[in-house]
Structures are given as C-alpha cells and as structure tokens.
Structure 1
Amino acid sequence: MAEARRLSVRDVLTDGRIALMLPLGFSSGLPFLLVFSTLSAWLREAGISRTEIGMLSWVALAYSFKFLWAPIVDRYDVPVLARLLGRRRGWMALSQLGVALGLVGIASSDPQANLTFAILSAILVAFASATQDVVVDGWRIDAAATERQGMMAASYQLGYRLALICAGAGALYIAEFVDWRSAYLAMAALMSVGLVGTLLAPRLDQGAARERPSLAAAIIEPLTDLFRRKGPILIPILVLISCFRLPDFVAGVMANPLYIDLGFSKADIANVSKLYGVWIGIIGAFAGGLALTRLGLWWTLLIGAFIAAASNLMFAWLASGNATLPGLTLTISADNFAAGFAGSALIAYMSGLCSPSFAATQYALLSSLYALPGKLIGGASGAVVDAYGYPLLFTATASIGIPLVILCFVVRQDTLQTVREKDEEVEAPAPTAGAGSRA
C-alpha cells in the first residue's frame, strides 16, 4: 500500500478548502443541541412534563435515518439553487436556510400555549440539519484527495465543537440574561456562518454527470458483504454497537431536566456542562485514542463499555441528595470523560469492521445503528422518571454495562482477528504497475 504524501504546514495553511471546513463544521454542529438538550431545558422550565420532553427527543431520529434520503441529495438538483450554486452547494444552502427557518419557528413558539408548533419547528430543524450533514460530507469527499481528508475532517470537528459551545452554553447564557426567544433567534442568525462558507466554497459539479449507485448497491451490497465476511458473529457485533452508547443517549435526554429540577441555574448548567464539560469530553476522547495505541482495540472497547455505563451512577448519586455545585462538577467530569473515551473506542471498532470496498456506506450504516436504539429508548425516559424517579432511571441505564461487558468477551476473538487483518493490509507491499487493486 503506497504511503500517502505527507502534508507540510504550508500546504495546510494555504489550502482554502481545509479552512472552509471550519464554518461548514460550525453550521453542522449548531442545530444538534438546539433540538436536544438545550430545548429540553427550555421545555422543562416552561412546565412541560418530562414524559413529553422525553418523547420530543425522537425528533433527533432524523440523524439516524439520514442514509435513507442521502441518494436523493446525491442524485437530484435543487430547483433554481442548483443552477446558481451547483448541486452540492445548492443542497447546502437549502438545508442551512431550513435550519434557520426552523430555529425562528421555535423562537416564535410558546411551548405552554402551543407545544405542537414548537415540535413541528424542531422536526424541520432536525431534518434540515441531517440533510446538511449528508451534503457537507459529500462536498468534502469531492473537494479533496485522500491525503487531505484527515485535515479536512480535523477542521470540521473544530468548527463542530465550537458550535456545540455556542448552542449549549451560549444559548443558556442568553436565555438566563434575556429570554429563550432571543437565544433561539441568535442561534438562527449564527447559521449565516455556514451560509457564508457555502457561498465561498468552490463549485463542484463533476459528480453530477457520473453514474450514481442504485439503492441495492448503496445499501444491500454493503450489508451482504458484512454478513459474508463475519458470519454468525455479526449478530452479537451489531447488538454491541447498538447498545454501546445507550446509557449516554438516555442520560443526554434527562440530564438537563434533572439539573433544572435540582435547582441549578441556567448559568450553572452552562458553565459546568456546556463549557467545562465539552473540554473534559475532548480530554476523554484523546485518552481513548492513547489507550488504543497502548492497550489495543479490544481492551479499549471493554474499558469504554464499562465506564460509559458506570458513569450514569453519578447522575443517580447527584439526584439522591447531592445537588451541590461540586457534585454537579464531579458528575459532569465523570460522564463527559467516559463518553469521550467510549466514543473513540466505538469509532475505531466500527472503522475496523468496514471493508475497503464499502467503507463509507458501511460506516454510515453502522453509525446510524449505534444511535438508533438510544434515541428510541431515550424517548421513554421521561415516563420512567415520572413513575419511578431519577435515581432508578440512571441506575437502570448503568446496569446496561453488564451485558455490554459480556458482549465484548463474546466478540473478543473476532476483534483480535480484525486487528490482525488490518495490520496485514497496512504492511502489504504496494501493487506493481499494472496490477489490479481494490478501490
């Protein structure tokens, strides 16, 4: 396998495409919390029941099902905008305007008087945001060669994290010192950052003329390849992936309502959860990456499965008479570090499962699978809290760590074999001229 050309600092600093991923990443990251934890804080403060808040989290299912309409985004033009901007940029602009419109709709709603309008606006935000993710990934892949994709992704992640701070801490600060309507209008205005990035991005229409894969080629064949390579062990693998982040997703739905019910101010939540917690999550992600190099994939996966579930016990502890600012800080520290660590482990594990011939599609399908059960079950979390209280909910989600650890042992041999196969691929000599190679 030929070694990719090493990028110099000058290459990075002078490549406008890498710089453009910063505003595009910001635009992709901004809507997520605004239909998830930030919105749940507003609704709880407005007196909306925890059961309804939990069910509202189902709007985020759009991110899990985006692969279903990705072929439409990839194959068809947006009327008028495609002629002006090209296919990719036309879809980008449309989705960004859709997100902004949905945020204005949420800002204009009164959850106490008309919750339905707020829900419909949130659905628009989630659908448009998921579509934006699809098209930004498509533009990124078309825009640069393989050796530049790492830096493109790094710039995107930086923009995404900055957006999470704005949509989390920033929105809570505005809501605390002004009101929720102003917070969401400000977030809608910030979508202009992504729109400017779209207008500055080069027009890439070469992909419009080439043959597009059929639905079978895009979804059925990658699935068939997974079953053919893995056999029966694929079943516990898929169960492990689907449940791996389940405790984290459930905690994400009920965490902000818990903080509100315990009497923490929006400023406290913003400072500890949305600012401090983001950086602890980044530290956890780097710790997971370091563990991968030192301990190997399987041990990192096992540790990640255990600590991500066990960290939910901290929420149960917080709700059981420990609602102090130091208690909140300790809880957020444990949860965010564990989530970052487990996230690195899961990304590495899913990447190792993908075949080089179907890497992008298989990863998209696996990443959709890991998010789906958590969002489905997270929708019922409010009803559990209303019936039994916060401590029981978070203790129950922590107990998911037991079957996860067992599943890690079930897939251990396959995981070790996968690592050996990937090492052999890396160490294999480059094909000679004229020899066939996989795409």
Structure 2
Amino acid sequence: MSSVVLPQPVASAEPAAPAAVRTGVSRMALYVLLGFSAGLPFYMFSTVLSARLKEHGVALAVIGFFAWVQLLPTFKFLWAPLLDRYDVPGFGRFWGKRRGWIMLAQLGIFTSMLAMTVTASDGSLAVTALFAVLLAFWTTTLEIAADAWRIELAPTPEEQGPIAAANLWGYRTAMVAAGSGALLVADIPQWGWTGAYLLIAAAAFVPFPILAGMRPDPGHAGGRWTALATGLIAGAIILGVAALATAVIGWLVLNAAAGAGISADTNVTPWVLVISMLPFLIMAVALPRIRAARATDPIRASAAIGPYVDFFWRYGFMAIMLLSFVSVYRMGDVLALNLSKPMILGLGYTKSEIGRADGLVALASSVVGVGLGGWMVTRWRSGVTLSIGAVFAAIGNFGFVWLAHMPRDELTLYVATGLDQFGNGMAGAVFVVYLSMLVNPRYPGAQYAFLSGFAFLLSRLLSGAGGTMVSQLDRVGLNGFDIFFLASGVISLAALLFLPVLAGVKPRPDDA
C-alpha cells in the first residue's frame, strides 16, 4: 500500500532550540517528561472520574454526559493561535514561548486537581463538572504547547518517530500510573477519592520545578527568579479569569439544557449524530471559496483563521476525506475509554483489582505497543503502519466483550487490559506521526491542534451518548455493553476502508 505524499518541511519561525534539547537523546528525555505531565491528569477527568461517579451511584447516562468534558481538547484550535502568537508574562521572558505556556498549564493542572479533591463526594455534580472542565482545559493547553515544540524540534518522519514514541511513553506511563494509583489509593478507607486526587496532583506538579531549572531560551533575557515571580503572579490572574469564565459558561449551558428538558432519561443519540455531521457540511460549502483564495486574501492572511484555512487550501476537497479518516481512526478507543471502568466494576471487580491490572499489565503493554508503533513509522509506509495499528486497536475493544463472558478472574482482567493498552499504544504512536506530517510547519501549533482536536470530535460526541446507548439497549432486552464494545471494535476496522483512497493524496505546494 502506498503512503501519503507529504509536504516538505520548511524552516520554523521559532528561535533555535536550546542546546539541551538539540540531541536525539535529550529530546526524547524531554518529551518523556512532557508526556508524563499531560498524561497524569487525563485519566483523572475521564476514566477515573467515571469510576468515581459509578461508585457514588450516578446514573450511567449521566456518566456518559461527563465524557463531553473530553470534548474540550477537540476545540483546542480555538485558543491554539494564542499560544503561537503570545508569550506568557514572566515565564516567556526567560524560558521562551513554548516552555512558558507549558509551565502556566502545569499550574492550572495542579490547582484544578486540588479543587477536585473538594468535590470528592460528588455531592454537587455541577461543581464536579466545573473543576473537571478546568482540568481538561489546562491539560489541553499543555498538549498544544508541547506538540508545537515537538514539531519544531523534529520536522521529518525519521525524527518524529522516536520523539513521538518518547512522548507517548511518558503520556501513557502517566495515564496508567494515574489510573492504577488513583484506584488503589481510593480503595483505602482512610484516603478515598480525596487522597487519590491529592496524590496525583502532587505527582503532576513534579515537572514544573524541573522545567524551571532548565536553561533560558535563546534570545530571551532577564533573571530566572524575577521571571519566575512575575510568571506566578500573572499565572494566578490568568487561572482566576479562566475559572470565572468557565463557571459562567457552565451555568449558561446547564440552564439551557434544563430549559430544553434534557435529563438522564433523554435519548440524545440522534441529536449527537446530527451535530456530528455539521462540520463536514460546513467544510464542503466553504471549500470552493478557500481553494480560490490567494496568499494575501484576508481569510488566508488572518492570524486567527489563516492556519486552518491553509490546511483546506493545500488539500482541497481531499481535506474532507482526510478529516473523515482521522475522525474514525481512534474512535473505537475513545468510545471504550469512558465506559470500560463502569463495565468492569459492574462485573464485580474491585478498584484494587482494576488498579493492579492497570499498574502491572497496562503499563508494560502500552510501552511495548508505543515502542513498536514508533519503530514501524521509521521503516514502513504510512498505509502499512496505520493498518496494523487499527487492527490491534480493534482487538483491544473486542477483549472487553470476551472479558464480560469469562468467569470473574483477575488473570482474565489482566489479559483484557493488556490487549486494550497494547492496541491503544501502537495505534496512538503511528497516528501522532501521521497527523504531524500533515501539518504545514509554518503553523505547527495551530494546525496540529486543529487536526488532533478534530480527530476526536465525532468520537467524543458519541462517547457522551454512550451511557444512553447502553441503557437503551438494555431496556429492550439486549446486552448493551456487548453491543457497544463490539461496535467500537468494528469502527476501528472501518478506518481501513479510507487508506486506498488516501494513498495518492498530495497537498498543493505552498505559495506563501
């Protein structure tokens, strides 16, 4: 199978990388650290939160609605251009644009997770949702800055393979550590969910002093301690404004939902499917105008929308096919993420058993899967690596169906967990490199944010309706979880249908 023909990288507009991250080994170590920073909080507003809500008796449909918190990364393109254009006051003066935003995001992650300890009883689901959204926002902001820096440091597939694998090693190691550690600690009566979130908050803050101790960015002057103090003051103001804005928007959304009569008994699936199709219709209508635009046209020259218009200008109507493919490729994994822990808990497994499976098996399986994926992209064509990743991702989803029909045994749980994490790790590694090579290096932060965000839009919309789907199937006498996880695996395999069409796609040469 042929690989997609990709644009040649151009010189980045960013200053030269610090000497400490110019070598391959230093880059990989850096991105293990950055992946770890982003991976720790992710499970805390997704999988771990769904287990916490399940234990507190929250309806499955409502747990599904909480999956929509994960939509925030999908819309990161809305604020990604700000990270490409502006420095964080204080932090940016000494550590540069990318590290400055990463450090601010880590402060946001730490304070949001501390706030989630206050809601550990889930007495007010609205307050729980507020802090979960803030945690998702700052986690996503960290990823935007780290992804942009990664693309600048490694602009070719050969360079991206190792650094992307290192990032995913750190990310998935942290995810597994957070999931396993949080569940094990939460099962200790003296600690509970409060102790679990407190422990992960402390671990998530560890990379901050490490980054603060790194060398200054080339071209940036000023004292380290002055920059740190200024950054902390500015950061506190920014965090406060973000929390207030989130609270106001959340209040408006919840009141609008209540006014529309949406509740745990509402079948939201048809509405979700309609909303999911709207972006594709809008793109189809706008593409003729975009393809005819010149480099000086306002829609291409705009700092706000220019980076996104550029993607459609370069790929034309094949951009819709590309976005359809990336929307489907990881859908099975995302659908399984939010409901896997409630299903396993419903089978009678304890939090400690799930925690041991995540700690003993998931980490090793994920590391091996990511490593194989990173190795494959440096040697084989993209069509081959994407196909292999999709197959193993589907096997991981089918493993949950197998688990549900086996006698309750911790070893069986280990096997199902290992299959899931291995497939996710491999598919994730090849997918990150594929998306990175679609990006125009003139807009690394904004375009990667758009592509990686859009890749999960449809799946996260559907994931939010997952609890409703399972409940509706159970009501008509079917096994809702069986059908849900079977369907998620089949969707992973459906991504293979796109590859023959995408094999010959070439972007229009850049005219800027």
Q: TM-score range by the shorter chain?
A: 0.7 to 0.9
Instruction: Give, in angstroms, the shift of residue 31 of structure 1.
Output: 0.9
Measure the CA separation in 1 of the matches of 2:75 and 2:64: 19
Measure the CA separation in 2 of the matches of 1:358 and 1:20: 22
Partner of 1:64, secondary structure, is: helix
Instruction: Give, in angstroms, the shift of residue 162 of structure 1.
Output: 3.9
Measure the CA separation in 2 of the matches of 1:153 and 1:400: 25
Query: Which residue does 2:206 correspond to in 1?
Result: 193
Which residue type is aligned with residue 423 of structure 2?
A
Query: Which residue does 2:176 correspond to in 1?
Result: 165
Query: Which residue does 2:401 correspond to in 1?
Result: 316
Instruction: Give, in angstroms, the shift of residue 355 of structure 1.
Output: 4.2
Instruction: Give, in angstroms, the shift of residue 401 of structure 1.
Output: 4.1
Residue by residue over 1:73-130, the C-alpha shift from the partner in whole angstroms, topping out at 9 and shown as x without a partner, is 4444556766787765554443322222211221111444222211111111111222
Measure the CA separation in 2 of the matches of 1:141 and 1:13: 14
State which of 460, 464, 478 in structure 2 corresponds to 1:379. 464
Residue by residue over 1:235-263, the C-alpha shift from the partner in whole angstroms, topping out at 9 and shown as x without a partner, is 22221111111010010111111111111
Which residue type is aligned with residue 261 of structure 1?
G
Which residue type is aligned with residue 194 of structure 1?
P
Could you say if the C-alpha distance between residues 287 and 62 of structure 1 is closer, same or farther in structure 2, counting changes exceeding 3 Å?
same
Matches within 5 A, 1:192-231: 192-204=205-217, 206=219, 216-217=301-302, 220-231=305-316
The 8 Å contact of residues 43 and 49 in structure 2, kept in 1 or not, is answered as: yes
Instruction: Give, in angstroms, the shift of residue 402 of structure 1.
Output: 5.4
Partner of 1:399, secondary structure, is: helix
Matches within 5 A, 1:19-418: 23-76=33-86, 78=88, 91-137=101-147, 156-177=167-188, 178-204=191-217, 206=219, 216-217=301-302, 220-292=305-377, 296-355=381-440, 357-358=442-443, 361-388=446-473, 389-401=480-492, 403-414=494-505
Measure the CA separation in 2 of the matches of 1:295 and 1:86: 36
Instruction: Give, in angstroms, the shift of residue 312 of structure 1.
Output: 1.9
Measure the CA separation in 1 of the matches of 2:399 and 2:128: 32
Partner of 2:123, secondary structure, is: coil
User: Where does the alignment leave 5 or more consecutive residues of structure 2 unmatched?
Assistant: 1-7, 10-19, 222-297, 474-479
Which residue type is aligned with residue 108 of structure 1?
V
The 8 Å contact of residues 165 and 373 in structure 2, kept in 1 or not, is answered as: no
The 8 Å contact of residues 396 and 422 in structure 2, kept in 1 or not, is answered as: no
Aligned-residue Cα RMSD (Å) equals 3.9
Which residue type is aligned with residue 204 of structure 1?
D
Measure the CA separation in 2 of the matches of 1:77 and 1:351: 23
Q: Which has the higher contact order (CA 8 A, sep 6+)?
A: 2
Residue by residue over 1:212-245, the C-alpha shift from the partner in whole angstroms, topping out at 9 and shown as x without a partner, is x998555644444444443433322221111111
The 8 Å contact of residues 391 and 492 in structure 2, kept in 1 or not, is answered as: yes
Which residue type is aligned with residue 487 of structure 2?
A
Instruction: Give, in angstroms, the shift of residue 184 of structure 1.
Output: 0.7
Bigger drift between 276-285 and 357-366 goes to: 357-366
Which residue type is aligned with residue 215 of structure 2?
P
Query: TM-score, normalising length from structure 1?
Result: 0.79
Could you say if the C-alpha distance between residues 256 and 366 of structure 1 is closer, same or farther in structure 2, counting changes exceeding 3 Å?
same
Could you say if the C-alpha distance between residues 224 and 127 of structure 1 is closer, same or farther in structure 2, counting changes exceeding 3 Å?
closer
Bigger drift between 145-154 and 289-298 goes to: 145-154
Query: Which residue does 1:431 correspond to in 2?
Result: none
Query: TM-score, normalising length from structure 2?
Result: 0.69
The 8 Å contact of residues 396 and 420 in structure 2, kept in 1 or not, is answered as: yes
Measure the CA separation in 1 of the matches of 2:361 and 2:413: 11
Which residue type is aligned with residue 411 of structure 1?
L
Query: Which residue does 2:292 correspond to in 1?
Result: none
Instruction: Give, in angstroms, the shift of residue 44 of structure 1.
Output: 0.9
Could you say if the C-alpha distance between residues 262 and 343 of structure 1 is closer, same or farther in structure 2, counting changes exceeding 3 Å?
same
Measure the CA separation in 1 of the matches of 2:59 and 2:456: 24
Which residue type is aligned with residue 435 of structure 2?
M
Could you say if the C-alpha distance between residues 294 and 215 of structure 1 is closer, same or farther in structure 2, counting changes exceeding 3 Å?
closer
Could you say if the C-alpha distance between residues 88 and 223 of structure 1 is closer, same or farther in structure 2, counting changes exceeding 3 Å?
closer
The 8 Å contact of residues 84 and 445 in structure 2, kept in 1 or not, is answered as: no
Residue by residue over 1:129-154, the C-alpha shift from the partner in whole angstroms, topping out at 9 and shown as x without a partner, is 22223344566778x79799867766
Identity of aligned residues (%): 35
Which residue type is aligned with residue 107 of structure 2?
L
Instruction: Give, in angstroms, the shift of residue 200 of structure 1.
Output: 1.1
Which residue type is aligned with residue 334 of structure 1?
L
Could you say if the C-alpha distance between residues 375 and 112 of structure 1 is closer, same or farther in structure 2, counting changes exceeding 3 Å?
same
The 8 Å contact of residues 111 and 118 in structure 1, kept in 2 or not, is answered as: no
Residue by residue over 1:176-225, the C-alpha shift from the partner in whole angstroms, topping out at 9 and shown as x without a partner, is 223111111111222331221232133438479xxxx9985556444444
Which residue type is aligned with residue 185 of structure 2?
I
Which residue type is aligned with residue 393 of structure 2?
A
Which residue type is aligned with residue 113 of structure 2?
L
Task: Please state which structure has a larger fraction of its residues in helix.
Answer: 1
